[in-house]
A and B are shown apart, each in its own frame.
Chain A
């Protein structure tokens, strides 16, 4: 009798749960009935305006210096005839105070090129192209075209540094097949030097020497997609590169990016560039970036990356250089090269989509120079609506006086950013 009652109660419970489920489904379906949204059509244009207000705490005086910026960003990408495509990408930043040695206005012509599909599997590109390689998040040893590419540093976020930079003038040939892709490109050296005039396309900055790059990406069915690279320039012996990724689980991706070849040390390259006396210290040097990204079920992605730059300085050399006249020359040259002055760094990056409230994305980054233990920390809270975004950014540079990040002219920066898509 008792068993029969328990069975009957359980049956009633299941029926009640099923009815409750049907009720919630009904409410959701009634809501869906009201949906009136129409599909939007694709546009060849993307353009937005951005303003920023904030400032920096100057290290030398410990005083706050206000700063403002207004930017206009445009990208056009169109197939104007079968097989023909044109891409134009440009950004204008107006800074107050001016970012020396530039004036208040800095225009960055990021890309301007024509693409021709010569056959179903054969493509040719000609023009200024932001040629990027590398699977790592923070440091890309195989990103051979990053040198002297950044004209205006809008943010230290690596995504911003990769996006807001000048491409190189180059001719690129790509052959695709079902089993992979082969690319060969040539980027000619052009006469001239870096030009700081606001609207100068500054071609000589990115095309300061002849460069060649060959890449091969075989496609395997099991998700294994390595990429092999061979790079050569007028001043750099042949460099070999490798990009590897692996899916470790449903939530984790590991990556490895390596470049190696015979080269001078960075300090010797800086001396050579400045026409100072230099000693040939050519040796086989490796650069490497390896990390892991883990994503949780609630949209938090965390990346930890180890970075090694075999052309940088070891601790002893770095400590000695801090007090030598070469220090300023070395740091100035490295800014253009986008390389670390020392050998070992750690990079942590985290993002949280829809953090706490809908449409709020939080990002955090920390770079640590493992040789001098200086740190660059960066936080961003970004709230986005359908055509606008608002962000609060904070950056801190800490470390001893001549360390990688402790030598920055500011200790902290703040910025409140607003963006409107047109």
Chain B
């Protein structure tokens, strides 16, 4: 799987306009820009604004590993801050979600709709390979402003939910032509209502590639509700299969 994804991105970067990629291949190449193709850990700092005022800040440690069967990432999320939530854990494995509180030793199964992180859905926070859960139906070229207000020439990739793990009904994503960097995305409900927009920005070289280090999420209904997700400390690390089960949660102590 790893060789396949890296190969796809390399092929995409080398061939550029010479070889036309399908919309699904463009989406997969974009996933490879956002996500390393091996187990990794990172720190995600979420800052939430409402009506221009900062209202919440959380820091999470995230440890991800792709499922050898379907290629989708599974993640273990550890709260680092705020203090009242420190060391609580969420195991995210497809639709199998478990919440663990070390104080009460309680492992509680959650439904995907249970949001523990303000505006950001669980699916926004954890690593997701969109090409595994969505079917890209078209890719048309157009110019669009990016998160730094620079105009980028992009593919506008339209995709539909393809599995029950998909958080959104359909998504439009702008992916830069040539680099396959995700620039922005709009996420929609079944009714075609805009649920949220996301800008992928502040690209920096991490683990060998230029990757976005910040995502700005804007609520579809209330645009004054903004969440900034800032990624740091991205490292390649072992995330053993053993970790990704409910019974390991009380044991989890990352170094």
Say yes or no: is B152 at the interface (Cβ < 8 Å to chain A): no
Q: Which of A5-13, A20-28, A266-274, A281-289 contacts B (4 or more CB under 8 A)?
A: A20-28
Partner of A79, one of B61, B82, B245, B255: B255
The reply on B15 being an interface residue by CB < 8 A is no
- CA A397 – CA B61 in complex, angstroms? 43
Task: Determine whether the beta carbon of B95 is less than 8 Å from that of A251.
Answer: no
Neighbour of B111 across the interface among A24, A27, A247, CB < 8 A: A247
B226–A32 contact, CB under 8 A?
yes
Smallest beta-carbon distance A244→chain B, Å: 10
With contacts A28-B226, A32-B216, A358-B50 taken as known, whether A22 is within 8 angstroms of B145 at the C-beta atoms is yes
Docked complex Cα distance between A266 and B86 (Å): 39
Q: Is A85 an interface residue (CB 8 A)?
A: yes
Once bound together, how far apart are the Cα atoms of A219 and B242, in whole Å?
10
Majority secondary structure, A binding face: mixed
Looking at chain B, what size class is its interface with the partner chain?
35 or more
Q: Is A176 among interface residues, defined by CB-CB distance under 8 A?
A: yes
A383 to chain B, nearest CB (A): 12
Known A35-B230, A120-B242, A132-B104; contact A250-B248, beta-carbon cutoff 8 A: no
* CB of B102 closer than 8 Å to a CB of A: yes
Chain A residues closer than 8 Å to B115, beta-carbon distance: 299, 353
Within 8 A of A (CB), among B200-233: 201, 214, 216, 218, 223-224, 226, 228, 230, 232-233
CB contacts (< 8 Å) of B84 on chain A: these are 384, 389, 421
When the two chains form their complex, are residues B247 and A181 in contact, meaning their CB atoms are under 8 A apart? yes
Q: Are A39 and B233 closer than 8 Å at their CB atoms?
A: yes
A412 CB → nearest B CB, Å: 26
> Could you count the A-B residue pairs with CB atoms below 8 Å apart for me: how many are there?
166
With beta carbons under 8 angstroms apart, the residue of A79, A115, A245 that contacts B109 is: A245
Contacts of A75 in B (CB 8 A): 102-103
Contact of A40 among B81, B214, B223, B240 (CB under 8 A): B81
Bound-complex Cα distance A37 to B86 (A): 17
Chain A: number of interface residues, binned into ranges:
35 or more
Given A24-B218, A130-B105, residue A77 in contact with residue B55 (CB < 8 A) = no
* Contact among A26, A162, A176, A295 with B104 in the assembled complex (CB-CB below 8 Å): A162
Check if B108 sits within 8 Å of A31, measured CB to CB.
no
Minimum CB–CB distance for A22 against chain B, Å: 7
Q: Which residues of chain A are near B94, meaning CB under 8 Å?
A: 223
**Interface-located stretch among B17-25, B41-49, B125-133:** B41-49
Question: Which residues of A sit under 8 angstroms from B82, Cβ to Cβ?
Answer: 386-387, 421
Asked if A40 and B80 make an inter-chain contact with CB atoms under 8 angstroms apart, the answer reads yes
Q: Contacting A247 at CB < 8 Å: which of B57, B78, B109, B184?
A: B109
Q: Knowing A26-B149, A28-B223, A223-B95 are in contact, say whether A79-B105 is a contact too (CB < 8 A).
A: no
Inter-chain contacts of B59 with A (CB < 8 A): 39-40
Since A32-B228, A131-B105 are in contact, a sample of 11 more A-B pairs with Cβ atoms closer than 8 Å, ordered by chain A residue number, is A25-B197, A32-B49, A35-B230, A37-B54, A38-B45, A42-B61, A42-B87, A123-B251, A137-B108, A176-B248, A386-B82
29 interchain pairs, CB-CB under 8 A? A21-B197, A27-B223, A28-B226, A35-B228, A39-B43, A39-B80, A42-B61, A42-B87, A89-B103, A121-B242, A174-B251, A176-B248, A180-B245, A180-B247, A181-B245, A181-B247, A223-B96, A225-B96, A250-B113, A251-B111, A251-B112, A253-B111, A296-B113, A299-B115, A354-B118, A358-B56, A384-B84, A386-B82, A389-B84
